[in-house]
Amino acid sequence: MQPVYFAHGYREREAPFAAFFGKLLRKQSLLPSLDPPSESVNAAKLERHLRYTKGLVAIVSNRDSAVSPHIRFEINMSIRMGQPLLVFFEDTLSPDMFPKQIPKRRFSATSYFREVREHLHAISSLEDYIGRENIPKFVSPNDHRTCLLLGFGQSSTPYHDLILTLIKSKGYSAIRIPIENTSPPIDETMMAEVRSADLAIAFLDERDPSSMYHLGLAQSCMVPTILLTTHQNRPLNHLVPQEYQRLYLDSKNTAEGFIKIEQQINLFEEDFVSLDSDSEADQYANQLASISSHSGEYTEETRLTIIRELTMGDKYTTGQAGAVGPGAFSTGNTFNQIWQQHSESIDLPTLVAELGQLREAMRAEAQSPEHDVALGAVASAQSAAENGDGPGALSHLKSAGKWALDVATKIGVNVATAAIKSATGI
């Protein structure tokens, strides 16, 4: 089966549409892959996922004569990438809401199940275009995963060393694109590096032509991109949900900024879920209906609940991660298992308090970018623990490393010390 990005609404009346079209996609040998609703999302995560699929199918329902801006953004991604695209839109919406160049097929909210032949024909045409063979990308990936650094100029200086150290700790090689003395057309080496990059982190504060050109090039090559700015009043595009736009970082509070950047990268690396059977499509629709929000707002627990319900036996399938355990949340199967083993000895309120003490002690001793990264990891762990996310706290503490453990041992915060040992395996 060929994987396709499955974009749809999450509200109660939209749940039957998701189940119905998910089954039709499977009938035509297309594997619908989707992201359960949650409170957190960013553009880089969606861009990364689209690169793993062979096309996009969007189910667009009528929301008070308007269209979900999130689905609009997903359609825009597909157009930008040049991916095969098919939009099913509710027949009470005007087709003029979508670009005339994209394939569209209307459906009726009251009789869509009677229009099976028409819908299958549209999906069959998409499947014929995609083909049955899973041909790999022509551009081979790098030997080591890479992160493009774009627009790193004077405004973003406080974050340079922090970001370099952070991406290194997460296993990325940095490719820093100069913001001066480069002009199009670029040479084949730079083009290959841009096209094969796994991630880009871009500051929008440098407005020189070279910086903007390389950002546009990365976006046109569909490199998943995290947009940052140190200018709080930099304007937003009112047509695009704020989650997909630039993130403000305070140049005077790099500890808080570090947490935001790490959260964005962790979100980017979070996987999607594939509906591998008709029963999973039904389960998914039932869960959407049971937890539906008229405003379309959900918590992170919503996502975890749906993933648990999609569990089949001892495993469920995520987009690129394969089979993982039934308790494996977005923070990773490993840390969920560790938390289950040690949760009785790690009291979360105590952990929150002790991580606060540990941060203060580490801040007083920090002397290098590596220390700043460890400090940010402890701050992220404290934030996760405050939200009741034990596995998430352990995930962050793994990045804190031996220095954090040494400081915790020295100041006698026993619960924090035990948590770091559990997370790092030291």
Backbone angles phi, psi at 274, to 5 degrees: -105, 135
> What tens digit of pLDDT does each residue of 331-341 get?
344 676 777 77
Q: What mean pLDDT comes out for the span 174-195?
A: 81
Q: Residue 389 pLDDT > 90, yes or no?
A: no
Smallest Cα–Cα separation from 79: which of 53, 60, 55, 43?
A: 55
% of the chain with per-residue pLDDT over 70 = 85
Q: Residue 193 pLDDT > 90, yes or no?
A: no
Looking at residue 91, its pLDDT comes to 95
Q: Both tokens of residue 232?
A: 């709080």
Looking at residue 187, its pLDDT comes to 82
Of 50-59, 297-306, 371-380, the poorest mean pLDDT is in 297-306
Q: Is 312 helix (H, G, I), strand (E, B) or coil?
A: strand
Looking at residue 264, its pLDDT comes to 93
Residue with tokens 């964005």: 264
> What tens digit of pLDDT does each residue of 300-327 get?
566 666 666 664 433 333 333 333 333 3
> What tens digit of pLDDT does each residue of 342-359 get?
777 788 889 999 999 998
Question: Of the spans 99-103, 231-235, 419-423, which averages the highest pLDDT?
Answer: 99-103
What is the distance between the alpha carbons of residues 163 and 141, in angstroms, rounded to a whole number?
22
Q: Residue 263 pLDDT > 50, yes or no?
A: yes
Looking at residue 303, its pLDDT comes to 65
Tell how strand 85-90 and strand 30-34 pair up.
unpaired
Looking at residue 272, its pLDDT comes to 83
Give the angle 14-300-250 at the CA atoms, nearest 5°. Answer: 120
For residue 405, what are the contacts with CB-CB under 8 A and spacing of at least 6? 417, 420, 421, 424, 426
Instruction: Tally the C-alpha atoms within 13 A of residue 69's C-alpha that lie toward its C-beta.
Output: 11
Q: Is 92 exposed, middle or buried (0-12, 13-18, 19+ CB in 10 A)?
A: exposed
Which residues are 106's β-sheet partners? 89
Domain boundaries, the chain: 2-35+55-130+273-324, 146-269, 336-424
What is the distance between the alpha carbons of residues 275 and 181, in angstroms, rounded to a whole number?
48
Q: Is 407 helix (H, G, I), strand (E, B) or coil?
A: helix
Looking at residue 313, its pLDDT comes to 36
Q: Which residue has the higher pLDDT, 200 or 191?
A: 200
Q: Residue 160 pLDDT > 80, yes or no?
A: yes
Q: What mean pLDDT comes out for the span 382-411?
A: 86
Looking at residue 127, its pLDDT comes to 93
Buried b (16+ CB within 10 A) or exposed e, 348-367: beebbbbbbebbebbeeebe
Q: Are 9 and 66 in contact (CB under 8 A)?
A: no
Looking at residue 229, its pLDDT comes to 94
For residue 397, what are the contacts with CB-CB under 8 A and spacing of at least 6? 377, 378, 381, 404, 419, 420, 423, 424
CA distances to 97, 188, 349, 376 from 373, rounded to whole Å, are: 45, 34, 24, 5
Of 20-34, 227-241, 328-342, 404-418, the poorest mean pLDDT is in 328-342
Banded model confidence at residue 56, pLDDT cuts 50, 70, 90: very high
Buried b (16+ CB within 10 A) or exposed e, 249-276: beeeebbebbbbbbbbbbbbbbbbbbbb
Q: What mean pLDDT comes out for the span 272-294?
A: 71
pTM of the model: 0.75
What is the distance between the alpha carbons of residues 377 and 262, in angstroms, rounded to a whole number?
8
Q: Are 222 and 47 in contact (CB under 8 A)?
A: yes
Q: What mean pLDDT comes out for the span 173-182?
A: 80
What is the distance between the alpha carbons of residues 234 and 254, in angstroms, rounded to a whole number?
19
Banded model confidence at residue 250, pLDDT cuts 50, 70, 90: very high
Q: Residue 30 pLDDT > 70, yes or no?
A: yes
What is the DSSP track for 147-185? EEEE--SSTTGGGHHHHHHHHHHTT-EEEEPPSSS--SS
Q: Residue 375 pLDDT > 50, yes or no?
A: yes
Banded model confidence at residue 46, pLDDT cuts 50, 70, 90: very high
Using the 8-state DSSP alphabet, how is residue 45 labeled? H
Q: What mean pLDDT comes out for the span 134-158?
A: 79
Q: Residue 269 pLDDT > 80, yes or no?
A: yes
Name the CATH code of domain 146-269 (choices 3.40.50.2000, 3.40.50.720, 1.10.10.10, 3.40.50.450): 3.40.50.450
Give the chain's mean pLDDT.
83
Fold of 2-35+55-130+273-324: Rossmann fold (3.40.50)
Q: Which residue has the higher pLDDT, 281 or 164?
A: 164
Banded model confidence at residue 226, pLDDT cuts 50, 70, 90: very high
What is the distance between the alpha carbons of residues 39 and 375, in angstroms, rounded to a whole number?
25
What is the distance between the alpha carbons of residues 140 and 300, in angstroms, rounded to a whole number?
35
Looking at residue 133, its pLDDT comes to 73
Q: Residue 299 pLDDT > 70, yes or no?
A: no
CA distances to 342, 367, 390, 412, 414 from 409, rounded to whole Å, are: 18, 19, 20, 5, 7
